[in-house]
Amino acid sequence: MMPCHPPERPQQWLVEFEHKTHVLSLPCNLLLESTATEPAALILEDISNRTGWPVSRLLLEGHDDSNNNHCCRVRVQSSLRGGKGGFGTLLKSSARQSGAKLTTDFGACRDLQGRRLRHVNDEIKLRKWREAQEREKQTGGKTEVTDAMFDTPSGLFNWHLMVPSWADISKKSTRKIQRQFKRMQQEEEQLEQEKRNARAQRERSVTMYVQKATATSNQVKTNVMSAVKQGLQAQQDKKRKREEAEEAPSDLFQKEDRPNSLCTLSGDVVVEGTSKQSAKNNVIQIQSQSDFSTLVLFLDKEVPKGDKKKSSILYYEVKVVTGGLAQIGWANVTTSDFKPNTEEGDGVGDDKGSFGYDGSRALKFHNGAEEAYDKSQWKAGDVVGCQYNVKTGEVSYSLNGKDLGVAFTFSDPTKTVLFPALSCNGGEILELHVAKEDMEHLPTKDSEKYIAVQDLIAVSIVADDSVTNNGEQNDDNKEPAAKDDDEKDGAKTKGDEADSPPEEQAEEKKEPETKKAPIKVEALDLAKFESVAALEELGLDRLKGALMAIGVKCGGSLNERAARLFSLKGLERKDYPKKVRAKNFVE
């Protein structure tokens, strides 16, 4: 029986390849059977399998025939494609030929490390450009970068390396580049100048447009005021001619031909003088004959342009004779923002162009919104002071001399023209004080700042007349709401009255005047009506009386009144929509 020898352990080799150490295990039986050169082949084959390099590209180093050396190194052998070159030699030979063009571009040549010269030059150029930028920031100069481009050891633009000795570098090309660069700078400066000129031209155009728009706006305001005055004068002329055609000439009935600064914008009112009234008609009483009438007092003059600390607050007073519902304040009638409507119950403060105060409800109004303003409520005989600061745009009120504080403020008072305006409920009486001598509570502190509105009125306020919403005045003070026969019928014009014979005019005078029956203010039982059409059969006046009885807006056409009333069927009074409630509505 043969002895049993233990199997020999495989031999391990430490092989260095690409900066890494590989441990190879080669079986002993392969090494014993192989020749002296086969272990090297086994090592290269194993490295090739591990790294993927072809065996033909691998070279074993540090291995000898002795089996005791188990450390070796494997490297890759590859052939170089091309070499450092000889490009400079080609340039040199071509430059020496007769008629050859001088060479100034050496970027394709290589240095002793094998780098292209253009790459080396770009690194230097970038470094110098950064240094020039830093110096330019510190000194504020504008030519640092340009100087860095031209200041080169070779004399070539942007070439910071030396040139071969055989290269004949002329300064002609450098000067040409400098001229081109200066021309480019001049073009850039010219372009910047053109941009600045265009910007200045746009600014001048905008300034001229704003000035022209401002002048046009001022002209429009002037034209509006002139048109209002002409309209008032035309109404006075129309009334005078009608009186001359209908009545016999008599000093007792002839009125003085003069324009009126007080104009009714909605509803019918009666304007009468008081016992305090002077020759200038400064104190007058106003009584509303409609549901919610609105008047405005036109100011013909501008605020004096004196000391800024003086003459800056317009002031007038209103005495609440009956102590009922009224909205007193200021309105801008030169625009379409102020549109009072007696049928809808809109007055001073119910739109964008007006500011109002109602002391009976302790509320202030603007742009249709109402807010609480002081807690004190006025009563019959109280005097309300109305102030408007034309410089700061502040609107404030006082009650019997007590300042209630600023109620409204708007940003640009120079572009807004406000006039005294007031609205009052039907039957309410207000007394208007516009002159200083008639005011009861003119502020004594800084009194030089206050201007009575009478000082800005060129014409007097006509009293003892009934003013209607079209600017005409009726002769009958006892029945101011009634109108002339020609206005009721609408059949005669101003020319027809002047041409009609005296006999026909006399017959017309003898005809009895028909008076309109008063509106019956009484609520309706809506449960008896099944449709809007059934309510329309009652007529305009009956529907108006029914709406007034429940405190709802009563304006509009027959269908609108019937639809508004029918929409409230089955609702309790507290559930009525706010948009249909009138000024005097009480839950």
Specify the CATH number for 262-483; select among 3.20.20.80, 3.40.47.10, 2.60.120.920, 1.10.630.10: 2.60.120.920
| Rounded Cα distance, 569 and 572, in Å | 9
Under the banding of pLDDT at 50, 70 and 90, the label for residue 245 is: confident
Domain boundaries, the chain: 11-76, 262-483, 526-580
| Rounded Cα distance, 2 and 163, in Å | 86
Phi, psi of 380 (to 5 degrees): -60, 130
Would you give the DSSP letter of residue 206? H
E strand residue ranges, 434-512? 450-452, 465-467, 473-474
Average pLDDT over residues 298-323: 79
For domain 11-76, give the fold.
Ubiquitin-like (UB roll) (3.10.20)
Segment 195-233, tens digit of pLDDT: 999 999 999 999 998 888 888 888 888 888 888 888 888
Higher per-residue pLDDT: 81 or 532: 532
Closest CA to 242 of 498, 568, 515: 498
| Rounded Cα distance, 464 and 416, in Å | 32
Would you give the DSSP letter of residue 461? P
Which among 36-40, 150-154, 467-471 has the top mean pLDDT?
A: 150-154
Give the three-state DSSP class for 102. coil
Helix axes 171-246, 502-510, angle to 10 degrees: 80
Contact by Cβ (8 Å): 380, 322: yes
Under the banding of pLDDT at 50, 70 and 90, the label for residue 327 is: very high
Higher per-residue pLDDT: 584 or 300: 300
Segment 474-496, tens digit of pLDDT: 433 333 333 344 444 444 444 44
Higher per-residue pLDDT: 277 or 346: 346
DSSP states of 325-346 = -EEEEEE-TTSTT---BTTTTB
For residue 108, is pLDDT > 70? yes
User: Among 43-52, 183-192, 231-240, 308-317, where is mean pLDDT lowest?
Assistant: 308-317
| Rounded Cα distance, 398 and 358, in Å | 12
| Rounded Cα distance, 431 and 439, in Å | 11
pLDDT for 492 equals 42
**Assessment of whether the complete model's pTM goes beyond 0.75:** no
Average pLDDT, whole number, for the chain?
A: 77
Segment 3-20, tens digit of pLDDT: 545 556 777 888 888 888
Q: How far is CA 279 from the centre of its chain?
A: 50
Average pLDDT over residues 55-66: 78
Q: How far is CA 109 from the centre of its chain?
A: 66
| Rounded Cα distance, 343 and 213, in Å | 37
Would you give the DSSP letter of residue 552? B
